[in-house]
Amino acid sequence: MRLERVGPYLWRIPQDASRGMRVPGLVIADDQLIESIRSDASLEQIANGATLPGIVKAAMAMPDIHQGYGLPVGGVVATDARHGVVSPGAIGFDINCGVRLLGTALRSDAIADRMEALVDALFAAIPTGVGSRGELTLDPKALDRVLERGAAWAVSAGYGDSDDLKHIESGGGLDGAVPDNVSAHARERGRRQLGTLGSGNHFLEVQTVEVVYDGPAARALGLREGQVTVMIHTGSRGLGHQVCTDYLDTTGRALRRYGISVPDRQLACAPVDSDEARAYLGAMRAAANFAFANRQVLTHWTRQVFERSLGFAPRELGIRVVYDVAHNIAKEEEHEVDGTRRRLIVHRKGATRAFPGQPVLVPGDMGRYSYLLIGTENAMRETFGSTCHGAGRRLSRTAAVKAARGRHIADELRRQGVLARATGRDALAEEMPEAYKDVHDVVDVVHRFGISTRVARLKPLAVIKG
C-alpha cells in the first residue's frame, strides 16, 4: 500500500481511482507506530473504506488502528447525511462498546490492605465471561424501555441517580432508537445480559490517579493524584452483536438493488435514505442505548460492592461518574468540509468522539496505565471531532495465548502490584500486557497532533476480566 508522509504525525494513502477510492486515506501515527500498522491489513481496509459512496474528506485511521472486520478498528469515515451511505461494518459488532470512568473520595493508600477483598467481591458480584448472564431478566416491555431510553431507564429503575446522566455522552441515550427494528434473536440474546461485563477486552478496573498533567482540567473533573478511580469497559453484549450480524446480511443483499459496489462485502452498505439504512440506524441506536444502560447498571453494582466490602457509607465513598464515552457507533453531526457546514453520518469504529472540552477515556493494558484526555478544536478541523479509543492490539488472541504458554500471567501482574481475576481459561493470556501496543505511544501521538490533550494517567490496582 502506497503511503506518503505529509507531516510529523500524518500519513496519506493517495486516492486511487483504480481501487474505486473516492477520497484519500489519512493515518495519524509516528514512525514507530506506522511500522506496526503496516504489519497487518489495516491500510488496505482504510483504502476500502474510502470507496464508500458519499464519503467526504478522507477515510481516517487513529494511531491505535489494527485490522478488523470491514473497516479497521481505529477507523473513522464520515458520509453525507442526505446522499451518503450507512455501513454496519464501519461501526462494528459490539455497538457502543464504551468506557466509563468513576471517581471516588478515597485515596489508594487508605484501602491498599483491603484491595484483595475488594477485587474478590467485585468478581463475585459482576457477571463476566462469554455468554454471561446477570440477575436481571427483562420481559419484552422492559427491554423495549431499555432500548428506547438507555441509561435513563436504569436510573428510573433504581440503578444510580439522575446526576449520573449529566456525565454520559448523549446523556446516556440516543434519540431515534426503534426497538421494533431489533430482531427477536437479538432481543433473546440481550434480555438476560443487562448488567454483565462480557469477555475479550472488556474489563472493570480499580485504578489510582498516578500523574496529573493538566491541573485545572483534572480539578474541574474532580480528580487528584492518589485518588481511587474505577474504569468500566463493555458494550451492548450479544444484542448489539446480533444487530450488526442481522444488518450486515440485510445491506449485503441490498447492494445490487442500489447499484453499489464495494471491494469487501464486509463493508456492505445502503443509502442513508433507504429502508435498509433507516431500519439499521433505528436498531443501532437501540443497541447503543442498551450499552449505556449496561454500564449504568454495572456502576450501581460497583457502588454497592464498595459499600459492602470497605464498610464506608455512600457519602464517604463519593463514587460518581466522571464521564462515559462511546465507540463503535454512528452519529449524525454537523462538521465543516471544504469551508461549508454539512450534516454527516460519522462512523467511529474503535474511535472516540473528542469534541472541544469533552473528556476522552483511553484504556491501556492491565499491566501499565490508562489515560484521561480532553478533546480539542483541532479535532473538529482534522478528524471530525475524533481521536483514539485505546492502545490497539499488536498480537492476536491466538498469538497471545501461544506467547503466554508456560507463564502465570496473574502472578506476573501481582508482582507488578495488580490483582487480576478472570473467568475464561485463557482470558488473562489473551489480554496480557504484551498483546497491546504501549498506550503511552498512542496517546503521545494524539496529544502532539493536537486532537486530544493529556489530563491524567491512571494506574491499575485490580482488574476483573471475562
- Would you name the residues annotated as active-site residues? 389
CB 177 within 8 A of CB 286: yes
Gap between the Cα atoms of 346 and 333, Å rounded? 7
Q: Identity (one letter) of the amino acid at 389?
A: H
Backbone angles phi, psi at 314, to 5 degrees: -50, -40
Gap between the Cα atoms of 337 and 246, Å rounded? 33
CB 433 within 8 A of CB 366: yes
Backbone angles phi, psi at 127, to 5 degrees: -65, 130
Alpha helices in 88-159 (DSSP H): 115-125, 140-149, 151-156
CA distances from 319 to 203, 229, 257, 286, 315 (A): 18, 9, 52, 28, 8
Torsion of CA 229, 298, 148, 388, to 10 degrees: 40
Gap between the Cα atoms of 356 and 375, Å rounded? 5
Gap between the Cα atoms of 319 and 288, Å rounded? 24
Burial per residue of 296-322, b for 16 or more beta-carbon CB atoms within 10 angstroms, e otherwise: bbbbbbbbebbeebbebeeeebbbbbb
For the beta carbon of residue 118, count every other beta carbon within 10 angstroms: 20
